[in-house]
Chain A
Amino acid sequence: MRRYVARRIAALVATLVFVSALVFVVVRVLPGDPASIMLGTEGSPEALARLRDAMGLNRPLPVQYAEWMGGALRGDLGRSLQYDVPVGALIVSRLPVTLPLALLAALFMAAAALPLGVYAATHHRRAGDYAAMILSQVGISVPQFWSGLLLILFFSVHLGWVRSGGFEGWSSGVGPALRSLLLPAIALGLFQAAVLVRATRSAVLDVLREDYVRTARAKGLGEARVVGVHTFRNALIPVVTVAGIQLGQLMAGAIVLESVFALPGLGRLALGAISARDLPVVQGVALFVASSIVVINFAVDLAYGVLDPRIRYE
């Protein structure tokens, strides 16, 4: 077990170094430099040269990279060119929006997908199964920004139950803060649920064909117990794998939905930083997201052992 964890940590470090180098190069080969964009159409060439110099953009790339990596290792991700505050602080300030949003969305995803997937599998090739699959197909096909807008139109414009967007902050109370996150979390979670429904359904179907399920039924156990105890847990391995991947995708979805719902989260920070070529922020966010995904996958791997005691990490 210990060796396994050590190997995974080494892989994590390698992934992060690779991601950081990739992001570093990619944001720099894009045409359009941050100083130019900051000055817009009004700055003179002299002002541009001065600003480039002040931002340290005139130094050789390897020097810039080494400096940035050195700082990152010490926990310093640099300063935002746009906001002039430390990138680390900027990322941390956006987490109270994005983390609860992702968690809520994951909750909706699990709450919608697991029951529906199990239902579809236990009603295989019956009306309920087809209905669930059609629903899931719709969920996969509808773009998230559109479902987000529909939710806004219905729940805030038409019914007036929740705010159409924006985030008051947790200081104004848990209730109002959760209410701001509710619609985007539903839009985000339901979309991801559509994929998970299919994974759950096929995993449960596979397990239902196992001998021990037949044995359980032969023993005279009720269907609820057969599905709930003997089938469900054993079907979880592929479900957890897919769910883990989707947790990572929630981040990508958050970029779009945070714009639609005007939420000051990590996704919107990244989007704004890319168009303003706020390089330290883009790099910092990419590094943060990459680490989160690697950590989630690591947790998923560890969960296998808990779910299925036959799996050993040696």
Chain B
Amino acid sequence: MNRRIVVAMLCAVLLLAGAGGETPAQSPGRLIVQSQTEPPGLDMTATPATATSGIVFYNVQESLVKVDRHGKLVPSLAERWHTADNRNYTFFLKKGVRFHNGREMKAADVKYCFERALNPETKHPYAKDYEAIGDIIVKDDYTVTFALKTVNANFLQNVARAGASIYPRETVDTMKSHPVGTGPFRFEEWVRGDRVVLVKNGDYHVKGLPKLERVTFRFVTDPNAVLAALKAGDVDASLFGLGPEHVQDLQKDARFQVITGDTTNDVILAMNNSRKPYGDVRVRRAMTYGVNKADVLKGAMFGMGKILGTNVDPLNPYYVDLSKAMPYDPARAKKLLAEAGYPNGFDSVLKVSPQYDYTVRSGQVVADSLKKIGVNVKIEQIEWGQWIARVFREADYDLTIIGHAEAWDIKNYANAKYYYRYDSAKFQDLFNKSEVTVDDKARREIYVDMQKLLVEDAPVVWLFMHPRLAVTKKGLQGLWKDLPASANDLSEVSWAPAK
């Protein structure tokens, strides 16, 4: 009898499993993208989560100005703009742009969205970016002028950010679960825990786009599950979920293409400047000389990425390559430590969060490197929530490793309360000057000076730029190579016609 039960069960299993083949993920016009984390909500004016902008920005909602795939500011909802005095910016809106609910986008919508961002009641995550705006004047349905209280050199950059996307006011209350915008794709559904589905906006204001009919973002967190899903053909592309440790064998697999490029994500070894011994610039310089960055890149990132020497990332127009300004030099590091009163080195604790595995791996190489100059680093792994609370908010740490993905984040070094606790009046002056200098050449000079000053002061050790690593099935084309903006623009993505 027992045997009969076993046989019956096995038959049932096989029948269930074998019944009908699965439709392969790849079919023309459709794309299934793996997304690592489920967004906390789909309203970009309520959360700074990259999981949200990664789906919504550029695809569902857009801004007046756009950062394109080369990092350049190009027209988007505004077909052009004009400023004579760097205080008053007039935007001329594209005509005939329709929201997904059918209504035409007009200047009053632009005014509404920015005023809403500035209203403290709405808890907009980037309200600070727009506080220079004094007045918003609607001249006619397609012309709007922003009068700034002060000159703000980053104004256009800020207008291009996710937080400045334009949406219809009548959908504000439901944006968290159903975003409406002007983008190439319309939001269709969000099955909590599983996927977000977008479909083609047939009425898109850029002719010929988008090329895909339907995009599904599927939430798969575990990297091994991502690999399996790719290999089983259940997802077509992974844009963020895989690290260099996972793509090694995919690079050799003819079914896939691995896209590597530059990002704005700089990975740093932060030192708490308000704590002994890191208050001493000689110790901080010694740390910089003492870390073998080439080893870190090789050991932790399988050689992928670029070594950095200062804050500004390679995609920034003001980037200067200072990666060799303070090369690996353990003898010099030891000498500096002796000068600072630590001839025998010291002990220090490095806090990293395994949520970002590359930080743990980098930490191991860094610890090994620093041991050679007498600095004994103990690695303490803490959960991400604790990292945010203890390291980031309270600066309760000696050393930590993390990637800063935000573009134009040099401002953090001008903030003495930021968790680096780097407090330099000279740097703060330079930064404030850069904020009100609009002339490109003059501004570039200030940026070069800031980068050089950072090298000298060594408030943190800049390790490397985290590379963009996307894996897709062969035949998918049109994805961005570099990532100058925190977005996944899928408007130009398509499948190559089958040969």
- With known contacts A39-B48, A161-B18, A275-B384, A152–B5 Cβ distance under 8 A: no
CB-defined contacts of A118 to chain B, threshold 8 Å: 2
Near A by CB (< 8 A), chain B positions 201-244 give 218-222, 224-225, 228-229, 231-234
B458 to chain A, nearest CB (A): 21
B interface list, Cβ under 8 A from A: 1-3, 5-6, 9, 13, 16-22, 38, 40-41, 47-49, 120, 123, 125-128, 176-177, 191-195, 218-222, 224-225, 228-229, 231-234, 355, 383-390, 392-393, 402, 404, 406, 417
Residue of B nearest to A41 (CB): B392
CB-defined contacts of B16 to chain A, threshold 8 Å: 175, 178-179, 182
B176 near A157 (CB under 8 angstroms)?
no
**Complexed CA–CA distance, A179 and B13 (Å):** 9
**Complexed CA–CA distance, A163 and B195 (Å):** 15
B5 near A36 (CB under 8 angstroms)?
no
B125 near A160 (CB under 8 angstroms)?
no
B384 near A37 (CB under 8 angstroms)?
yes
- With known contacts A51-B123, A264-B192, A164–B49 Cβ distance under 8 A: no
**Complexed CA–CA distance, A97 and B6 (Å):** 26
CB-defined contacts of A264 to chain B, threshold 8 Å: 191-194, 219
- With known contacts A32-B386, A84-B176, A169-B191, A156–B228 Cβ distance under 8 A: yes
A29 to chain B, nearest CB (A): 12
The segment from A7-15, A254-262, A289-297 that touches chain B is A254-262
CB-defined contacts of A163 to chain B, threshold 8 Å: 22, 232, 234
CB-defined contacts of B120 to chain A, threshold 8 Å: 50
B212 to chain A, nearest CB (A): 19
A165 near B228 (CB under 8 angstroms)?
yes
Question: Any chain B CB within 8 A of the CB of A60?
Answer: no
CB-defined contacts of A54 to chain B, threshold 8 Å: 123
Question: Any chain B CB within 8 A of the CB of A33?
Answer: yes
A164 near B48 (CB under 8 angstroms)?
no
B86 to chain A, nearest CB (A): 25
Q: Which of B123, B231, B389 contacts A32 (CB 8 A)?
A: B389
A182 near B48 (CB under 8 angstroms)?
no
A228 near B1 (CB under 8 angstroms)?
yes
B388 near A37 (CB under 8 angstroms)?
yes
A50 to chain B, nearest CB (A): 5
A83 near B191 (CB under 8 angstroms)?
no
CB-defined contacts of A288 to chain B, threshold 8 Å: none
Q: Which of A47, A119, A175, A272 contacts B123 (CB 8 A)?
A: A47
- With known contacts A119-B2, A182-B13, A182-B16, A165–B225 Cβ distance under 8 A: yes
Q: Which of B6, B392, B417 contacts A111 (CB 8 A)?
A: B6
B247 to chain A, nearest CB (A): 17
Question: Any chain B CB within 8 A of the CB of A155?
Answer: yes
- With known contacts A38-B47, A264-B193, A272-B38, A160–B232 Cβ distance under 8 A: yes
Given contacts A97-B193, A164-B228, A166-B229, 7 further A-B contacts (CB under 8 A): A32-B384, A85-B177, A114-B2, A115-B2, A157-B228, A175-B20, A262-B221
**Complexed CA–CA distance, A272 and B40 (Å):** 10
A interface list, Cβ under 8 A from B: 30-33, 36-45, 47-48, 50-51, 54, 82-85, 90, 93-94, 97, 108, 111, 114-115, 118-119, 149, 152-153, 155-157, 160-167, 169, 175, 178-179, 182, 186, 224, 228, 259-265, 268-269, 272, 275-277
A162 near B22 (CB under 8 angstroms)?
yes
Q: Which of A114, A262, A275 contacts B229 (CB 8 A)?
A: A262
Q: Which of A114, A224, A268 contacts B193 (CB 8 A)?
A: A268
B388 near A265 (CB under 8 angstroms)?
no
CB-defined contacts of A228 to chain B, threshold 8 Å: 1
26 A-B Cβ contacts within 8 A? A31-B386, A32-B385, A37-B384, A37-B385, A40-B388, A41-B402, A43-B48, A44-B128, A47-B123, A48-B393, A54-B123, A84-B176, A119-B2, A152-B225, A157-B231, A157-B232, A160-B21, A160-B232, A164-B228, A182-B16, A228-B1, A262-B194, A268-B193, A269-B193, A275-B355, A275-B384
CB-defined contacts of A260 to chain B, threshold 8 Å: 222, 224-225
Residue of A nearest to B1 (CB): A228
Residue of A nearest to B419 (CB): A41
Residue of B nearest to A117 (CB): B2
B20 near A166 (CB under 8 angstroms)?
no
Q: Which of B20, B218, B385 contacts A275 (CB 8 A)?
A: B385
**Complexed CA–CA distance, A178 and B16 (Å):** 8
B229 near A39 (CB under 8 angstroms)?
no
Which 5 A-B pairs rank lowest in CB-CB distance, beginning with the nearest?
A264-B193, A32-B385, A115-B2, A164-B232, A32-B389
CB-defined contacts of B387 to chain A, threshold 8 Å: 32
Q: Which of B13, B229, B355, B384 contacts A164 (CB 8 A)?
A: B229
CB-defined contacts of A165 to chain B, threshold 8 Å: 220, 225, 228-229, 234
A283 to chain B, nearest CB (A): 16
**Complexed CA–CA distance, A93 and B110 (Å):** 37
A277 near B9 (CB under 8 angstroms)?
no
CB-defined contacts of B18 to chain A, threshold 8 Å: 161
- With known contacts A40-B48, A182-B17, A262-B221, A166–B195 Cβ distance under 8 A: yes
CB-defined contacts of A90 to chain B, threshold 8 Å: 192
Q: Which of B17, B123, B224 contacts A50 (CB 8 A)?
A: B123
B390 near A262 (CB under 8 angstroms)?
no
CB-defined contacts of A39 to chain B, threshold 8 Å: 48, 125
CB-defined contacts of B192 to chain A, threshold 8 Å: 83, 85, 90, 93, 264
CB-defined contacts of B231 to chain A, threshold 8 Å: 157, 164
B9 to chain A, nearest CB (A): 5
- With known contacts A36-B389, A165-B234, A83–B41 Cβ distance under 8 A: yes
Scoring B3, B126, B193 by chain A CB atoms within 10 A of each residue's CB, the highest score goes to B193
**Complexed CA–CA distance, A216 and B320 (Å):** 91
Scoring A83, A90, A175 by chain B CB atoms within 10 A of each residue's CB, the highest score goes to A83
- With known contacts A32-B383, A156-B234, A166-B218, A42–B193 Cβ distance under 8 A: no
A167 near B194 (CB under 8 angstroms)?
yes
CB-defined contacts of B38 to chain A, threshold 8 Å: 272
CB-defined contacts of B404 to chain A, threshold 8 Å: 41
B372 to chain A, nearest CB (A): 31
CB-defined contacts of A111 to chain B, threshold 8 Å: 5-6, 9
**Complexed CA–CA distance, A262 and B235 (Å):** 12
CB-defined contacts of A38 to chain B, threshold 8 Å: 40, 47, 49
B221 near A259 (CB under 8 angstroms)?
yes
A36 near B393 (CB under 8 angstroms)?
yes
Residue of A nearest to B405 (CB): A41
Residue of A nearest to B34 (CB): A262
CB-defined contacts of B385 to chain A, threshold 8 Å: 30-32, 36-37, 275-277
Residue of A nearest to B220 (CB): A262
**Complexed CA–CA distance, A38 and B194 (Å):** 20
A266 to chain B, nearest CB (A): 10
Residue of B nearest to A268 (CB): B193
A91 to chain B, nearest CB (A): 11
